[in-house]
Structure 1
Amino acid sequence: FQEKFGIFPEILSRAPGRLEILGNHTDYNEGTVLSVAVDRAMHIAAAPASGPPGQCLVIDLIDGSCRIFDLRALDRPCAGDWSNYIKGLIVELHRRGIQVPAFDAVLYGTVPLSAGMSSSAALEMAMLLVLLKLADKELPWLECAKIGQACENHYVGAKTGLLDQVSSLKGKKGNLIYSDFRNYTVDNVPIPEGTAFVVADSKVKHNLTNEYNERREACEEAVRILADVHPGVKALRDVTVQQLRDAEALLPPVVFRRALHVVGEIDRVENGREALRKGDIVGFGKLMQESHSSSMENFENSCPEIDRLVEIGQTLPGYLGARISGGGFGGISVHLVRSQDAQNYQKALEEAYLEQSGIQTTAMLCQAGDGAQLLN
């Protein structure tokens, strides 16, 4: 920042990416999720603007790109541009009566882009902390999460849930995050000793907007149909697997499969939380595997490359479970492994994936980290 702007930054922030461990596409269905904030994050240095009135300058150190925009002209997003995730936050703050002064900022992110680790939420939450500091305002964590979600829903155009923002805000070192998206409560669940997460990037990049919106609309259609049969149904959270199967003939086949995935995932989250409480890490790994099978067959948000990574993992020493993580359609697989085998597993996964697919991937060990924060 000093090199680019000639002064020291006044504000420093960081916000982590996340891994979804169990609970795929359950957040916007008022379900529960087990996730983890990782030790890869977006870092931001910022200060009040030094340029013309109302003008902001933001530089991304990873690729050297920069964006200049005027706070008085934020009504039109630039399709596909990363600055939308910043502009959308400012628009949402304006809607809440919070005025943000013009600023200069430098970004440095270590969360892989478009890989299912929510680099977008990491950017949003790190930047939101900066914007609130610039405006001399404080907001509750849940409101911060909702601002990030509204940015994506209204400005970016993706109908995302709250999982990514909540995970980035509420991480705790050495713990998973159990989030209930009906009553918006969060608990931390200790990660079992002797285990580790290996994350493998399929190198298939995704733009979630269209696919994500189609699946969300299918879930909403299922709720409308099921509510006629069971008047108490407000969301897929209210439906049991048996109720869904009993109503299968009423649902279009695709809508039934989408709903079956979500309802099954909510069950798997609750069973997974109980397995961790009992120390049954083998049982927890099996639930991860079941989750991935459902993503393949019911939600159809996996892809051949992710499926291959999961299949390779099943053959390796130390394997406990693996699944796609995040919205899907590419991105990453997350593997639960015994920590004593983690480094060998990581190397063997990379080598086998290259041999079988011709794609060079980078697998990485991830640790559970703390949530978003301002830095001294």
Structure 2
Amino acid sequence: METLFEIAARSEDDPVLGRLVEHVGDRSRDAPCAEIYVPGRVELLGKHADYAGGSSLTFATSRGFRALAFPDDRVSGLTMTSARGGEVVRIDWADDSESPPTEAAWGVYPRAVVRRIVRHFGTPGSGVFVAFESDLPQAAGMSSSSALLTTAALSILCATDVSSSSRFRSAVTGREQLAEFLGAVEAGTSYLDFDSEEGVGTRGGAQDHASILCGEAGHISLFSYLPVQVLERIACPADVSFVICHSGVDARKTAGARDDYNQLSDLAARVGQAWADASPSAGSESRAERATLAATIADPYLDESRVIDVIDRIARDPEDRRRLFHRFAQFHDECTIVLPAAVEALRNSDWTAFAGAASTSQWMAEDWLENQVEETAYLVRSARAFDAPAASAFGAGFGGAVWALIPTPDADRFAERWVSNYRREYPEHADDVTVFVERPSKPAAWPDGAIDGID
């Protein structure tokens, strides 16, 4: 790794890097220092599929977190400081408590990382200091929280001896496995033979972490989950871009949207578990492997009447029955109809077919997932009215952002027209709206050799 002095020498023409160096303060300029980049992600299609073992189309954004991380022998724990906001979060390696009331709200994410790393791989051999800055819009559905969690994890792995332990090397053998592990950290679920531990409160999957760690510049990636696998990478033509508009309605994983998000996750788990109980396996798969919606829709004996019978047995009341069936139907159609059609359309640059897939996904989100708010639904409709070939809300829902596919030469003009119309329609969000143009960008990066066995 470079020293802080060497990094500082490169910061004259890089204002963000310059601010990070200044924020480090009086620490030794001869200390080895890891410069880390962690992007956000855009989910094109595959809504609420990852935690149920489905698939999704995503890409890494050009916006993200930048951080400087290095060993700090003056403390026994992790110190993270925001160069932009000035907040500081300090977590002792031995501290497995919840965030104190006076701590910055984002402290829940590095705390989840520290708990799992110490529990599974032992206490790191030194403390870690991290200064970071981000240009990702917060609570916009672009994975700012997962990117922060990943920044904390990469900082610990780069600045300590954790990745050299035999237990880590056997459990995390590449970027896909690291994404799977960090997804488990955030959701509070088990990973391999590592028991579950409290996460950040949402029962999600590893989609965000996979896109952040395993994306590829210039390409849209098709991932499957449980476990994380890259199924295909499709080059994004230079003549199209994605205009992203954050509605100004926050979708915070640790606030009001969390319970709504978790309800969708719970509905999926209930159907998958009930199907597994009603369909004994003749193979070698464990019950956990069979108790997912992905395993349900892959069952050769699947038919609608049997699904209805299973749902009837577990439904608590007519409304619960309706929601269970809609949750199953959305997952089934998203994974078996929408995504295959979208992938084929992307391969052929068939934007009419891609628009059809996006429209189907959007109405299922509105009618079956019921995770859209008035503002995101309006942004989708207005994008199409302004001649966007395709548009859809994305992320967890209950607020957040919308993407619109636009010819690259028209993207800036479209963005201005789109957001101006939205501000007129929803003046209460005018000051909170963010709009920008994106194309698939590079995944997370850290110094070569800083994390044993993972480039």
Cα distance between partner residues in 2 of 1:182 and 1:151: 14
Deviation at 1:142, TM superposition (A): 2.8
> Which of the residues 259, 265, 288 maps onto 2:328?
259
Q: Deviations over 1:177-198 (max 9, x none)?
A: 1111145320321113421101
Alignment of 1:53-132 (within 5 A): 53-78=75-100, 81-100=105-124, 101-132=126-157
**Contact 1:92/1:150 (CA < 8 Å) preserved in 2?**
no
Cα distance between partner residues in 1 of 2:22 and 2:238: 43
**Contact 1:129/1:373 (CA < 8 Å) preserved in 2?**
no
Q: Which structure 2 segments of 5+ residues have no match?
A: 1-19, 165-171, 189-197, 282-289, 313-320, 449-455
Deviation at 1:55, TM superposition (A): 4.8
Alignment of 1:266-281 (within 5 A): 266-267=335-336, 268-281=338-351
Deviation at 1:92, TM superposition (A): 1.4
- Give the counterpart letter for 1:172 in structure 2: E
Alignment of 1:19-58 (within 5 A): 19-49=42-72, 51=74, 53-58=75-80
Determine the structure 2 residue equivalent to 1:159: 203
Answering whether residue 371 of structure 2 is matched by residue 301 of structure 1, we say yes
Q: Structure 1's 2 and 357: CA in aligned 2 closer, same or farther, altered over 3 A?
A: closer
**Contact 1:275/1:281 (CA < 8 Å) preserved in 2?**
yes
What RMSD in Å do the two structures reach over aligned CA positions? 2.3
- Give the fraction of aligned pairs with identical amino acids, expressed as a percent: 22
> Which of the residues 385, 390, 394 maps onto 1:321?
390
Q: Structure 1's 60 and 260: CA in aligned 2 closer, same or farther, altered over 3 A?
A: same
- Give the counterpart letter for 1:177 in structure 2: S
Q: Deviations over 1:251-292 (max 9, x none)?
A: 411111122111111121122112222331221122112111
Determine the structure 2 residue equivalent to 1:6: 26
Cα distance between partner residues in 2 of 1:207 and 1:363: 19
Answering whether residue 303 of structure 2 is matched by residue 243 of structure 1, we say yes
SS at match of 2:105: coil
**Contact 1:77/1:156 (CA < 8 Å) preserved in 2?**
no
Cα distance between partner residues in 2 of 1:102 and 1:169: 24
**Contact 1:196/1:337 (CA < 8 Å) preserved in 2?**
yes
Determine the structure 1 residue equivalent to 2:182: 148
Count of residues in correspondence between the two structures? 374
Q: Structure 1's 286 and 3: CA in aligned 2 closer, same or farther, altered over 3 A?
A: same
Answering whether residue 411 of structure 2 is matched by residue 342 of structure 1, we say yes
**Contact 1:286/1:320 (CA < 8 Å) preserved in 2?**
no
Cα distance between partner residues in 2 of 1:98 and 1:322: 46
Q: Structure 1's 352 and 237: CA in aligned 2 closer, same or farther, altered over 3 A?
A: same
Deviation at 1:339, TM superposition (A): 1.8
- Give the counterpart letter for 1:374 in structure 2: W
- Give the counterpart letter for 1:69 in structure 2: I
Cα distance between partner residues in 2 of 1:173 and 1:231: 43
Deviation at 1:244, TM superposition (A): 3.9
SS at match of 2:371: coil
**Contact 2:177/2:228 (CA < 8 Å) preserved in 1?**
no
- Give the counterpart letter for 1:367 in structure 2: R
Cα distance between partner residues in 2 of 1:68 and 1:235: 38
Cα distance between partner residues in 2 of 1:285 and 1:332: 18
> Which of the residues 182, 191, 195 maps onto 2:240?
195
Cα distance between partner residues in 2 of 1:238 and 1:244: 15
**Contact 1:28/1:181 (CA < 8 Å) preserved in 2?**
yes
Greater CA drift, 164-173 or 199-208: 199-208
SS at match of 1:17: strand
SS at match of 1:160: coil
Q: Structure 1's 271 and 182: CA in aligned 2 closer, same or farther, altered over 3 A?
A: farther
Determine the structure 2 residue equivalent to 1:330: 399
SS at match of 2:61: strand
Greater CA drift, 92-101 or 257-266: 92-101
- Which fold has the larger relative contact order, with Cα–Cα distance below 8 Å and residues 6 or more apart in sequence? 1
Q: Deviations over 1:190-227 (max 9, x none)?
A: 11342110100110012332112111111112223444
Q: Structure 1's 99 and 143: CA in aligned 2 closer, same or farther, altered over 3 A?
A: farther
Answering whether residue 264 of structure 2 is matched by residue 215 of structure 1, we say yes
- Give the counterpart letter for 2:112 in structure 1: G
- Give the counterpart letter for 2:129 in structure 1: D
- Give the counterpart letter for 1:356 in structure 2: E
